[in-house]
Amino acid sequence: MGVSTSDPAQGISVVTVDYPPVNALPVQGWYDLADAVRAAGRDPRVRCVVLTAAGRGFNAGVDIKEIRRGENHEALIGANRGCFEAFAAVYECEVPVVAAVQGFCLGGGIGLVGNADAIVASDEATFGLPELDRGALGAATHLARLVPQHLMRALYYTSRTATAGELYRHGSVWRVVPRDQLAEAALELAREIAAKDGYLLRLAKAAINGIDPVDVRRSYRFEQGFTFEAGLSPVADRLRNAFGSRESL
């Protein structure tokens, strides 16, 4: 359990997240993920990073149970800071990052894939921000990189999800494959990228980030102010407790 790194092919590093049962990451998990992605990107032998997850879903966001148990809002602050570091690590990774997404990709998962360079998804994958149903906010910055503006708003306000096929039609998912072909499809794209010159790939990543129309770090940090405000409100405790009660049934 945790975050691990493997090197299945020359020039490729695979960072795998494994936090059963649903890959809802604790505070330390977000920091560990950030460290793993940054370390892979700094390795001069690596030309592409694949971000993947074990289990039935890619990511279910933060560990709400940890936030509910926390005192003095330490877990809420930690989750905010940990997510910020993990999302930034994916975006700022010195080489391209391919996200391989299966099952559900929710909350913080949207922050990760929205900051990735390319996404390969299984045909049953779904993407969404159920934040309003859980007493939280955040990651609209990253959902806006996956779908058009008005669709992003509708998904955000309703907490509904979009399918991998829908994101493929919007151009944000590179390829949709059966689940048993996901790992190979992600590696296939990674191998094609890793075949390029490593020095030029790093220059290309920096250049593309430099021309982004939205500063994702600043945009997400702005959102986090409202996320924290929401987290301190009575409605957040009510919704988090209701969510926790549903989980225990």
Cα–Cα distance measured from residue 159 to residue 135, given in angstroms and rounded to the nearest whole number: 12
Residue 192 lies in a domain: no
Cα–Cα distance measured from residue 92 to residue 205, given in angstroms and rounded to the nearest whole number: 8
Residue 19's domain comprises 2-179+208-248
pLDDT grade for 248, boundaries at 50, 70 and 90: very low
Strand order across the 48-53 sheet: 2-9, 12-18, 48-53, 97-101, 118-122, 175-177
Strand order across the 104-106 sheet: 104-106, 126-128, 161-163
Residue 14 lies in a domain: yes
Question: What type of residue sits at position 58?
Answer: F
Strand ranges in 139-231 using DSSP code E only, listed in sequence order: 161-163, 175-177
Residue 185 lies in a domain: no
Q: What's phi and psi for 35, nearest 5 deg?
A: -60, -40
pLDDT grade for 237, boundaries at 50, 70 and 90: confident
Per-residue pLDDT tens for 164-223? 999 999 999 999 999 999 999 999 999 999 999 999 999 999 999 999 999 999 999 999
Number of domains, the chain: 1
**Euclidean distance between the first and final Cα of the chain, in Å?**
24
Residue 197 lies in a domain: no
pLDDT surpasses 50 at 249: no
Residue 191 lies in a domain: no
Q: Quick one: 159 exposed, middle or buried, by C-beta within 10 A (0-12, 13-18, 19+)?
A: middle
Query: If you average pLDDT over residues 1-23, what whole number do you get?
Result: 96
Lowest pLDDT segment from 51-60, 154-163, 235-244: 235-244
Give CA angle at 185 (103, 52), nearest 5°: 45
114: domain CATH number is 3.90.226.10
Percent of the chain with pLDDT over 70: 96
Peptide bond before residue 21 is cis, with ω within 30 degrees of 0: yes
Per-residue pLDDT tens for 108-136? 999 999 999 999 999 999 999 999 998 88
Contacts of 35 (CB under 8 A, 6+ apart): 3, 89
Q: How far is CA 61 from the centre of its chain?
A: 8
For the chain, what is the mean pLDDT? 94
Residue 157 lies in a domain: yes
Structure tokens at 53: 């997850």
Residue 78 lies in a domain: yes
Residue 221 lies in a domain: yes
Per-residue pLDDT tens for 102-112? 999 999 999 99
Q: What's phi and psi for 103, nearest 5 deg?
A: 60, -130
pLDDT surpasses 90 at 240: no
pLDDT surpasses 60 at 28: yes
